[in-house]
Each structure stands twice: as structure tokens, then as C-alpha cells.
Amino acid sequence: MKTKFLFLLLLVSSYGFSQSVNDYAAVIVPLKFDFLKSENQYRLNTLTKFNLQKAGFVAYYNNEDIPNELNNRCSLLSVDVLKESGFLITKLYVILKDCNGKVVFKSEVGKSKEKEYEVAYSEALNMAFASVYALHYKYNGGIASSLTPDKVVPITASVQTLGTVIAVNPVENKESNLLYAQPTALGFQLIDSTPKVVFKIFKTSIPNCFIAFKDNIQGVLIAKEDQWFFEYYQSEKLMSEKVVVKF
């Protein structure tokens, strides 16, 4: 009987979390997490925004322009990724906070035993987001307007932009063919905004040259004059397709 009561209590708590998350219209993503040394290091901030969008949220970096209808700071959540200490294992979890810094949701801890930081952080973060997906977020049309921020923080506050290599340019985001590189154990997968995996690419011994697969087509992804091209043979003809990608 006690076990059933505890199970019911956990179920109600989980339901309460998902309901409260549904009250918020969008999520603000920082350019840097505290446990990292630089902005968007290991592309974790890009990966966080991508996962939020995949989970159904509308997400903005904190240096992006926010639509006028979202000017009420308390209608938005902010996301943070935190690291737990662990011996030979990477542990990350995700929290969503309201305008007063109160934690509205905390994910399960994602873990990775990979040795390479970029792969380990990405794997742990993706695992942590599994419990965010489980919320089945759907904005209910309401705004948490009953909340009043303890400290008013302008949404359009001035912040440093990302570096040129890892910057997410709002203008380029409008390009329908813009792809984002998500690290894998052997290379990257290039995803669009749907999100859908468009390419799977694998590292070679030559810098800026990857073995590439697009559907059932095999070729190479190479850099020429700061642009990327997917080259492959079709009917004994060498084809070259420009690929717009953010690594």
C-alpha cells in the first residue's frame, strides 16, 4: 500500500511539472554554460537549442531578438545545463527556470563514458534530454503573467556574440538548406531545422575532408575556399553540391 502511494505521488509530481512547463511560451538559451570555459564550447549551446526545438519548445539565444508578444519576461523559461562530478564518467543534467530563478523542471542525469570531451558532453546531454522529451511539451496558450520578476532583466540585453567559427547567424538561419553539425563518435551528422539527418560524415586523415553519406549516395564532403561541397559520382559523372553547414 505504501509503495502504491509513493508511485502515485511521483506520478502526480511528474504531471505537475509537465503542466507548469506548458504555461511558458518559449525558452531562452545562454551562449555559455558555467562549467565550460568559452561560449558554445563543444557546441553544447547549439545542441541544447536543437534538443529544445526537437522537444517542441520555441527557443531563442539570449542575444536574439524576441517577438513583441513575448516581451513579458515571465512568459519565458531559461535553460541551464549543469555538470555533476564523476570519476571517469561525464554527468550532465538540464534545468528549466522561471523569471525568478525558480526551478520548474530538472531532468534525469545523462551519462557518458566516452573519453573525448566533445563526444562525451554531447552524448550525456542528449541522454539528459530524454526526460525533457518525456514531458511532451505543448504550449497551452496561457502566460504565467501572475508572476512578477524579482529582478527585471531585459530580454534584449547586450551580450557578446559567438565566435565566427561557431556563431549562429540569424540571417543565415533563414536559408532553407542550412545544416548543423552534431558530433558522433566517428565524425558528425548534419541535421536541418526539422530536425532531420541529411548527411552522415566520417573523419579521414585529411583535414577538412570527410567520407559522406546522403541517403544511399556515398561521396566526400570537402572544403574549398571556405565553402563545403558534397562530391560524388552519378552516371560516371562527377557531381558537386554546395552544402551550407555550421560546425
Q: What percent of the chain has pLDDT over 70?
A: 78
Cell of 181: 553539425
Q: How far apart are the first and last CA of the chain?
A: 53
Predicted model pTM: 0.56
Confidence of residue 185 (pLDDT cuts 50, 70, 90): confident
| Predicted pLDDT at 12 | 39
**Would you say residue 107 has pLDDT above 70?**
yes
**Would you say residue 143 has pLDDT above 90?**
no
**Would you say residue 214 has pLDDT above 70?**
yes
96 neighbors 60 (Cβ within 8 angstroms): no
**Would you say residue 3 has pLDDT above 70?**
no
Give mean pLDDT, residues 85-114. Answer: 91
**Would you say residue 13 has pLDDT above 50?**
no
12 neighbors 126 (Cβ within 8 angstroms): no
For the ranges 9-23, 105-119, 169-183, the one whose mean pLDDT is highest: 105-119
Paired residues of 202 in beta bridges = 187, 211
**Would you say residue 157 has pLDDT above 90?**
no
| Predicted pLDDT at 216 | 85
3-state secondary structure of 202: strand
| Predicted pLDDT at 199 | 93
Paired residues of 186 in beta bridges = none
Buried-state track 87-108, b at ≥16 Cβ within 10 A, e below 16? eeebbbbbbbbbbeeeebbebe
83 neighbors 69 (Cβ within 8 angstroms): no
Residue type, 106: K
Pairing label, strands 245-246, 103-106: unpaired
| Predicted pLDDT at 27 | 95
49 neighbors 61 (Cβ within 8 angstroms): yes
**Would you say residue 198 has pLDDT above 50?**
yes
Residue identified by cell 539570449 is 62
Alpha helix stretches (DSSP H) within 134-176 = none
**Would you say residue 209 has pLDDT above 70?**
yes
Over residues 54-77, the pLDDT tens digits come to 899 999 998 888 887 777 788 899
Give mean pLDDT, residues 1-14. Answer: 41
CA distance 158 to 174: 23
Q: For all residues of the chain together, what is the average pLDDT?
A: 79
| Predicted pLDDT at 85 | 87
Identify the burial level of 8 via C-beta atoms within 10 angstroms of its C-beta, where 0-12 means exposed, 13-18 middle and 19 or more buried: exposed
**Would you say residue 122 has pLDDT above 70?**
yes
Residues 6+ apart with CB under 8 A from 23: 140, 142, 143, 144
Confidence of residue 176 (pLDDT cuts 50, 70, 90): low
What is the signed CA dihedral for 78, 87, 110, 77, rounded to 10 degrees? -10
DSSP per-residue codes, 212-230 = EEETTEEEEEEEETTEEEE
